[in-house]
Amino acid sequence: MKRILTGIQPSGSITLGNYIGAIKQMVNMQNDYETYIFIADMHAITVPQDPKELPNNIKNLLAIYLASGIDYKKNTIFLQSDNIYHANISWMLECLTPYGELSRMTQFKDKSKKNANFSAGLLTYPILMASDILIYDVDYVPTGQDQKQHVELTRDIAIRINKKYNEDVFKVPEPLITKGGAKIMDLQDPTKKMSKSSENQKGVIYLLDTEDTIRKKIGSAVTDSVGKVKYDIENQPGISNLITIYSVLTNKSIEEVEKEFENSNYGIFKKSVADVVVEELSKIQEKYNELVNSNKLEEILKNGKEKTTEIAKNKYEKLKSIIGLHI
Ligand code: TYM
């Protein structure tokens, strides 16, 4: 069985973009793949986090995974910091990766501009991500478009190390970018990615937003003066983004959505988009509320820790051996 892995940072509330770009893909694939899904808490601390808030965000993300349909019996679910080998292996990979490759990463360039005092971890972040992926010899990494460059760096690292030591140390993974929903855009500025750290909260739909909030946010989404429900990113980025959201959540093609709304005005279209988002998220929220305080959560992470630690330890020993860290 082919293996897939993905992770999300518990840095604040989870967005519709995270859900469509990563979680929904995992839910759709969990029956046909060996799946690993984790909470990237060590990635979250590359920028400042409140130590009182972080545990809640971790717990909430775990409950969101489960409420979204990630089945803990089918998936290995774990907390990144519970597995000490991720950071250990990351260090070895850091020493085998040129600095220049990291400083070229788009996300690093963007995030480091926002805070002149950025941490060294913000630079080495993609290598920790490479470690997360390469430990498990995965075939595919389902993510949104914004993480593609990091998965490509991961591939380069794997290929370089396999060549250097003349051995198949790592499987070379491929990114798996959702068709259509790879980049859900900000509702207020549809030229920007919908992001947890967005300045204008009105442009971001959170999985735990109330029905009223969701309807308001979609109702006030920026559109255009063309007046046709047509997928045209260049001239109608806002409408195109709403078409994408509707298409992914209803499993209809872009053409089917355009046809469905060819005689509708934007008001009617927006209401239909809001209806499907509310329907999808209210199911998740109902389950989330049942799960968030369940004592099952700790047990799930404990099992994930045990299983992944064993796998990662083998990879660690292998690396120690080929690098020469032994007597
Ligand atoms: P993070 O937490 O920023 O985002 C989690 C996932 O959500 C996707 N995503 C989106 N997809 C579509 N539209 C959007 N607007 C949108 N916003 C976010 C992201 O592409 C991602 O798939 N470094 C990663 C976490 C990570 C990871 C890994 C992922 C750590 N190690 C190993 C895969 C494999 C991150 O910060 O994602």
b/e sequence 273-299, b meaning 16+ C-beta within 10 Å: bbebbbebbeebbebbeebbeeeebee
Q: How far apart are CA 257 and CA 133, in angstroms?
A: 36
Distance from the alpha carbon of residue 145 to the mean position of ligand 1, in angstroms: 8
Residue 312 burial (10 A CB sphere; 0-12, 13-18, 19+): buried
Distance, CA 46 to ligand 1 centroid (Å)?
A: 14
Distance CA 306, CA 76 (A): 10
DSSP 19: I
Task: Specify the pLDDT at position 30.
Answer: 97
- Taking the CA of residue 15 as reference, the ligand 1 atom at the shortest distance is 17
Q: What is the model's pLDDT at position 166?
A: 97
Question: Is 111 an annotated catalytic residue?
Answer: yes
211-to-28, 63, 241 alpha-carbon distances in Å: 25, 19, 20
Q: Which of 24, 59, 183, 193 is catalytic?
A: 193
Mutate to test the pocket of ligand 1, among 5, 14, 15, 18 (most ligand atoms within 8 A of CB): 18
Phi and psi based region of residue 324 (left: phi greater than 0; alpha: psi -120 to 50; beta: remaining): left
* Chain segment 52-95, per-residue pLDDT in tens: 999 999 999 999 999 999 999 999 999 999 999 999 999 999 99
pTM of the predicted protein model: 0.96
User: Is any ligand 1 atom within 6 A of the Cβ of residue 42?
Assistant: no
pLDDT score for 64: 98
pLDDT value at residue 199: 80
* CB of residue 6 inside a 6 A radius of ligand 1: yes
Q: Is 76 in the pocket of ligand 1 (CB under 6 A)?
A: no
Query: Is the distance from the beta carbon of residue 9 to the nearest atom of ligand 1 less than 6 Å?
Result: yes
For residue 173, give every residue at least 6 positions away whose Cβ sits within 8 Å of its Cβ, in sequence order, or none. Answer: 133, 134, 138, 139, 140, 141, 151, 154, 155, 158
- Ligand 1 pocket check for 215: Cβ under 6 Å: no
314 CA distance to ligand 1 middle (Å): 27
Determine contact, residues 165/30, Cβ cutoff 8 Å: no
Please give the distance, rounded to the nearest whole angstrom, from the Cα atom of residue 195 to the centre of ligand 1. Answer: 10
Residue tagged active-site, from 171, 196, 202, 320: 196
Q: Angle 266-291/54-67 helices, nearest 10 degrees? A: 110
Ligand 1 centroid distance, CA of 14 (Å): 10
* Ligand 1 contact via 24 beta carbon (within 6 Å): no
The verdict on the CB of residue 129 being under 6 Å from ligand 1 is yes
Ligand 1 near 18 CB (within 6 A): yes
Residue nearest to atom 9 of ligand 1 (CA): 18
To the query of whether residue 283 is one of the catalytic residues in this protein, the response is no
CB 127 within 8 A of CB 97: yes
Cα(152) to centroid(ligand 1), Å: 14
Phi, psi of 276 (to 5 degrees): -75, -35
pLDDT along the chain (327 residues), means of 10: 97 94 94 98 96 97 98 98 98 97 94 90 97 98 95 98 97 91 92 89 96 98 96 97 96 97 97 98 97 95 98 98 97
Helical spans, DSSP H, in the chain: 16-18, 24-29, 41-44, 54-67, 85-94, 99-103, 106-114, 120-134, 148-164, 211-219, 237-250, 254-260, 266-291, 296-323
Q: Which two tokens stand for residue 160?
A: 């370089």
Whole-angstrom distance, CA of residue 257 vs CA of residue 186: 20
